[in-house]
Structures are given as structure tokens and as C-alpha cells.
Structure 1
Amino acid sequence: MKRSVTMYKQARMDSAESSSLTSILQRLEARLSQQEDFQKALASHMVQVSTQVQDLRSSSPWTIPPPGPSASIPVPPTSMPVRSQEIKLAPPDRYSGEPGLFIATMRDLKKKDKLLEAAGDVYGKTLMLLPLDVCSDESVRQCINSVKDRHIDILINNAGVGLLGPVESISIEEMKRVFDTNFFGVVRMIKEVMPDMKKRRSGHIVVMSSVMGLQGVVFNDVYTASKFAMEGFCESMAVQLLKFNIRLSMIEPGPVHTEFETKMMEEVAKMEYPGVDADTIRYFKDVYLPSSIDIFEAMGQTPEDIAKCTKKVIESDSPRFRNLTNSLYTPIVALKYADETGGLSVNTFYNLLFNFGPLMHITMNILKCLTCSCLRRRTISPD
């Protein structure tokens, strides 16, 4: 009898969780439906912007204002070049008409061809390229010292490496390398430019974070931890910096369509994971990876989308501290803050992944329909 009562209670709990999850998904779908008009207007605007950029490129020569005395923007490099370079290659032509000097950085200048191609005629006029390894104190110091008067108005921290898979298969050394780039790389750059910004009592520090700095994601444990650390550091620093009239902003993308993600998904699916139990490997390869691909296809943005959002943040008179680039993630992130115990968020993602896989797949297909090919890869930029 006692066992029957226990089973009955568990069945009621499962039913309640299922009902709650269904309700959440229904509200999400309703929210997306309401955004269709906005999405169409946004797509129209993006087409106009694209046309204007093409018109600008077709004019010869370009009209580029002379470099200003104090508009230097170092963009830190990445230890895994493909991903971060694709994101950071988007801005040069978007800033080409703005006064100032822009400084892009790269750990290995032998790999500069893509950057120079993206920069076009801007390179050598308003865009400079300097070597920089954010994992080296000396390299960071030399890079900043090479800037005239060390005068940097805007710092964009864009370096980042990914790490995916069962945590049992990841060595401590691999984890340290991720933190050295994603967390300590940001800290090194901020420490180097902050004293000069404080003296001038002006400046803007922009950090490329992630929605994984707000919400933990299964099998992204180490990468998520590095972003959580960075967000905590920046949230603490932002309070102090305001006293010196220095702004700190975080850009928080979700999935971004780059060659890096495609190659990574293919590689991890083929890898062996010694020391990891068979069930965990099966959950990772047969459950997580297919779901992750669905999410990328339904909710992914392009590097250009992230660049547009970053540009808006930089140009804002009152830049926000946190800037989600994709409004589709707002309800997902809100789950975490709706329940201070964390149970709602943890149980929802558990059920979506392990108990309601087909429902999640259907939901992602609905998202793909609502955000058709002309709208799917877009940015919902800060107001």
C-alpha cells in the first residue's frame, strides 16, 4: 500500500512538471507569435542596411575621416582562431565611416589574411593590426604600450575558447587553458587599460560573454564556469568603474553560426571518451548533440548580427551592463530568476533534454518556422 501511494505521488509530480513545462512552452510560442511583425520590420531594415553597405563599397575611393587622437580599440585574439576571428571580422566595414583609430589584434599575425580581406581599404588608414596573446602578461603590456600615449577609449574583449564534453574526460590542464583565455585573458586586458582610463575618468570596456554566463548548460560545464567567473568579475568591477565615469558592458550571444561550431560538433561526435561510463557517452552523443544542433538551427545568429549589437552598445550614450543579443533566450534565462531555489530551471532543462526530447524537437521546429530563413539568423539588438 505504501509503495502504491508513493508511486501515485510520483505520478502526480511528473504530471504537474509536464503541465508546467507545456505551459512554459505555450507562453514562449505565444511570445514569438507576437514578435512576427517586429521580426519582419527588422528584416526589412537589415536589407536596407545591407544595400547601403553595398552602395558604400561600390563607391571609389572611400571617404574616410582622418584618425582621431583617442579612439583606439584593441580586440584581443583567440587561442582557437576560427571562432573568435569570424565574430570579430564583422566590425571593420561597419566602423569604417566613424572617426578614430581602430586596432585589431591577433596572436599569430601569419593568420591575418582573413582580417585584411574583411578590412579592405580601411586597413592602414583607420585600422591597425598588432600582435597580442591575452594569455601572456608581457604580450598584453607590450600591445598597450605600443598605442600612442596608451590612450584607449574603448576596449573590446573578444578572446574565447570552447570546451565541450563529459567532464570526466577533460583534464585539469585543459580546464586551466580555457580559464586562462576566457577569464584571465579578460582580467589581464582590463587591468592594463583601467589605470589610464581612471586617470582620464572616461572609457568603455566591452566584454564578449555568453548566455552560458547566465545559465548553465549540460556538457558545457567548464566553458560555462569560465563565463560565470567572467560575469561575476565584471559585475563587481562595473560598480567601482562607474565612480570613475567608466562604463562596462557585456555582450551575451547565444548560438552563433560559424565554421568553428560545425567542425566542433562533427569532431566531438567521433571522439572516444576513455574513463566515461557508457550511459553518459550515450546521453552526450545521442541526446545532447542532436538537441544542440536543433537549437543552433532554430536560434542561431551570425557573426554580423553580434557585430551590429556590439556597435549599438558602443554608440549608446547610456550603454546597458548586460546585453542579450537574441530575445528568444529571454524566457529561458528568466526561468533561472523565477525560482530562487534553482529547481524550476534545473528540472525544466532536465525534462526537456531527457524526458521530453520529441516535444523539444517540435518546439525547435516551430521556432524555425516562426523565424524563417530570411529572419532566422538575426539580432535583437539592445534598444
Structure 2
Amino acid sequence: MDQKTVLITGCSSGIGMALAVRIAKDEKKRFKVYATMRNPNKSEKLAEAAGRTLGRTLEIKQLDVCDEKSIKACVDSIPNRRIDVLISNAGMGLIGPIECQSLEEMKAVMDTNFFGLVRLLKGILPDMKRRKRGHIVVISSVMGIQGILFNDIYAASKFAVEGFCESLAVQALRFNLNLTLIEPGPVITEFERKVYEEGLKTDLSAADKETANMFTNVYLKNYNQIFQSLGQTPEDIAKHTHKIITTNKPPFRHQTNNLYTPMTTLKYADPNGDLPIDTFYKMVFEHDKIFNASLNFIKMLRWGSRKSFNLGKPQQ
């Protein structure tokens, strides 16, 4: 069997790096991985993690999902422009009250998370259609199906991705193509740490006192606790994704975190949409002690199987 060509975006750290390394180290050597990143100067950690696969089943290339010329140059450099599996992973986050965020920041999130995927597919999808062969894998998020407090813009970008892919999936079937949305919950990465650190620096002067207090003393306070209790590792996501791309009939959606799935199920349990919003509100504002006790219990159960995780202290 010929090796499948896999192109992955956002591989300088976190989920992208874990994906590239795991797939390149596939025991059956079924894949040739092109691990891409916006800035190749940040490839040192990936090269180290790749080990002996570097130059064999893994190559590092430059690709910026916000630059069509960059995408074209990368795809053109791949033999016959043949990409069997595209894993769209590059992204950026943003947390905080919307009155404290600029439209430029919001546009940057949408440009990377949504239009970055669109640009990739404009450059790669026509070849897949012509060959009638290919698998498009998008690293989405549970926030693509359920909004979370103070993640308004990030959730919007992932909702856009999910709607786009639902529409595209119908067309893809006509060309014998597979499309899969991978939907992690909290994942312990430098990406999340940076988002949190930027959140700590948020200028809250434009927000009213109650909103500012809610962000600092409710959201940021619980952020660390949620990751300690429910967070997965990048390797967990890579393991799930590796299994997805090696199955004969990959699903359209795949949630990676069984601990978080009951939360997203709430959305489908009530056609009116009130149940998840009401449940989250009561958890955060009316039953916060029970919520925190539950997180502590889950954390205790998982303590022996994972390292502790600390993002730092919320601002006062």
C-alpha cells in the first residue's frame, strides 16, 4: 500500500506537534507527514520530538493559513500536489468581555480559525475532488457546538467552522471524500496557557463592575480548576485523531473527552436551547460550591494518571 500524504497545520507546539509526531511514528509507516507552521524558526521542539522520523516520514514546511500565497507555495512543493489527509489545526484563542476586545482582535481570531480553513480548502479541495480521494480532518472544539462564558468570539469562530463543514460534507460525499470534525474539550497546551495569560492582562476598564468581577472572580478563578479536572493532553487528541484517519468509515463528528460529553448532550436534549444555558448559569452562579466540589472529586480520581497543571493566579 502506498503511503498516504498528510498535511498538518499549526505544528510548532501543542496538538499540532503531537499529531505530527504520532502519525509520523505510525508503526506500519502508512503516512508521510508534512508538518507545517507559520514560523519555521519555531520548529526546534518538533524536530526533537520527531527524532528519527525527521527527513523520513516527517518533513517540516512553512505555511501560514492567513496567507494564500504561502498555502499555494507549500502545496506546490508536495509531489504531485497530492494530499490524502488534510488536518486543519492552526488556530488562536481569545477570552474576555467583548466590550474589552477590539474588532481587530476579533477579526484576527475569525481570520485564523475560520478563514484559515477556507483558504486551505480553496487550495487543496479541487485536487481531492479530481482524484475522488481524500480525508479532511478539522480540529474543532466542543465550543463549536456549545458556547462558553467569555469565549464569545472563539466560540463564534468554531461555530462558523462547524456550519461550514456540515454544508461541505454533503458535497464531499459526492466526490467520495471524508470530512471529520474532532471536538476536544479542555486541552492542556501552551496555546491554552497563553490564552489564559493574555486574559490576565485584559484591560477591564471598559466593562461594568459586575462583568469585570464575573470575568476575574468567576471565569478566571475556575479556568485552572476546569483544566486540572477535565483537561486532556495533546497526545490524547493525537491518539484519537490517528485512530480516526486509520478507520475505514470515519465519523463526521468525534468528541475526544467522555468527561465533557454530558455537557454538550444538554444542547441536543432540549430543542428550545434553554436547558444548557440554564444549567450553566445555575452551575456557575447558584450551585458553584457543588460545581467546584465535583471538579475536585474528578481531579482526585484522575490525579494518579496525570501531571498537575497550573496556569497561574487570576488577577485581583
Both proteins in one fold, TM over 0.5: yes
Does the aligned pair in 2 maintain the 1:96–1:122 contact within 8 Å? no
The one of 95, 105, 110 aligned to 2:41: 110
The one of 291, 294, 306 aligned to 2:222: 291
Q: 1:285 to 1:87 in 2, by over 3 A?
A: farther
**In 2, distance between residues paired with 1:343 and 1:72?**
44
**In 2, distance between residues paired with 1:261 and 1:169?**
20
Does the aligned pair in 2 maintain the 1:92–1:119 contact within 8 Å? no
- What corresponds to 1:73 in structure 2? 6
Quote how far apart the aligned CAs of 1:264 are.
3.4
Give matches, 1:232-271, under 5 Å.
232-271=163-202
**In 1, distance between residues paired with 2:128 and 2:198?**
43
Greater gyration radius = 1
Aligned residues: 308
The one of 248, 255, 264 aligned to 1:333: 264
Give matches, 1:129-168, under 5 Å.
129-168=60-99
Give matches, 1:192-231, under 5 Å.
192-231=123-162
Quote how far apart the aligned CAs of 1:263 are.
4.2
- What corresponds to 1:178 in structure 2? 109
- What corresponds to 1:354 in structure 2? 285
Root-mean-square deviation over aligned CA pairs: 1.9
Give matches, 1:38-53, under 5 Å.
none
Q: Unaligned regions of 5+ residues in structure 1, if any?
A: 1-67, 378-383
> Which residue identity does 2:276 align to in structure 1?
S
**In 1, distance between residues paired with 2:294 and 2:49?**
36
Give matches, 1:15-26, under 5 Å.
none
> Which residue identity does 2:94 align to in structure 1?
L
**In 1, distance between residues paired with 2:72 and 2:17?**
25
Q: Higher helix share goes to which structure?
A: 1
- What corresponds to 2:313 in structure 1? none
> Which residue identity does 2:264 align to in structure 1?
V
1:306 pairs with 2:237? yes
Q: 1:152 to 1:263 in 2, by over 3 A?
A: closer
**SS of the residue aligned with 1:73?**
strand
**SS of the residue aligned with 1:74?**
strand
- What corresponds to 1:8 in structure 2? none
1:98 pairs with 2:29? yes
For residues 229-288 of structure 1, what are the alpha-carbon distances to aligned partners after superposition, in whole Å with 9 as ceiling and x for unaligned?
Answer: 000000111111011110000110001112332343344234322311111110000011
**SS of the residue aligned with 1:234?**
helix
What's the TM-score once normalised by structure 1's chain length?
A: 0.76
Quote how far apart the aligned CAs of 1:97 are.
4.1
Quote how far apart the aligned CAs of 1:100 are.
3.5
Quote how far apart the aligned CAs of 1:70 are.
5.5
Does the aligned pair in 2 maintain the 1:92–1:118 contact within 8 Å? no
Does the aligned pair in 1 maintain the 2:15–2:237 contact within 8 Å? no
Does the aligned pair in 2 maintain the 1:70–1:151 contact within 8 Å? no
**SS of the residue aligned with 1:295?**
helix
Does the aligned pair in 2 maintain the 1:368–1:376 contact within 8 Å? no
**SS of the residue aligned with 1:249?**
strand
What's the TM-score once normalised by structure 2's chain length?
A: 0.92
**SS of the residue aligned with 2:305?**
coil
